[in-house]
Amino acid sequence: MARPDKAATVTELAEEFRSSSAVVLTEYRGLSVKELTELRRSLGGNASYAVVKNTLTKLAAKEAGVQGIEEHLSGPSAIAFVKGDAVEVAKGLRDFAKNHPVLTVKGGLFDGQPFTADEFKKLADLESREVLLAKLAGAMKASMQNAVSLFAAPLSQTARVVDALRQKVEASGGATTDQNEG
């Protein structure tokens, strides 16, 4: 590959680093071209998956101001650039790796911070964004209902006290009326 082509590749990779919400570095050794194509499909539209030389990746990361991935750039490496929900892509990679154990996650970046393969597993085990938002909404609704009950309790207690006083006054009012008549 000519030097201008390498420079263009580095520029493209640097832009991918800048525009991605997460970057996952994997070792793909042992996967066939067909399996790599299957992996790309399994990631869906939220990610792109590219096999790139480590030296070009290091140069692109430096150009993009990305730090913390150099330690993962040894041996054959491929990169998943995540544009959308990183949890969904992590689940896709995890599920693919279950059927193709030669695919291993080395590490990567999540919101600009480096992560290890173990942290990646934790990310893949998270529930989807929609489920987490639904749980949050449910918790907020329950908190609101508790607050309503808390504010309504003094009002209902006051109503019961007023009703008890009314009954007491009626009962004692009836007794004093009987005494005055006799």
Provide the residue ranges of all domains of the chain, joining segments of one domain with +: 3-126, 129-182
The strand order across the sheet containing 47-51 reads 47-51, 78-82, 22-27, 104-110, 113-116
Where are the strands (E) in 3-120, listed by range?
Answer: 22-27, 47-51, 78-82, 104-110, 113-116
Q: Is this structure's pTM higher than 0.95? A: no
Does domain 3-126 match CATH 3.30.450.20?
no
pLDDT reported for residue 118: 85
**Mean pLDDT, residues 109-115:** 84
For the stretch 54-63, pLDDT in tens is 999 999 989 9
For the stretch 30-59, pLDDT in tens is 889 999 989 888 887 888 998 989 999 999
The three-point CA angle 51-113-29 to 5° equals 25
Token representation of residue 32: 């066939």
Amino acid at residue number 57: T
User: Predicted confidence band at 1 (pLDDT cuts at 50, 70, 90)?
Assistant: very low
Residues in the chain: 182
For the stretch 73-93, pLDDT in tens is 888 889 999 988 888 888 888
Token representation of residue 143: 């908190």
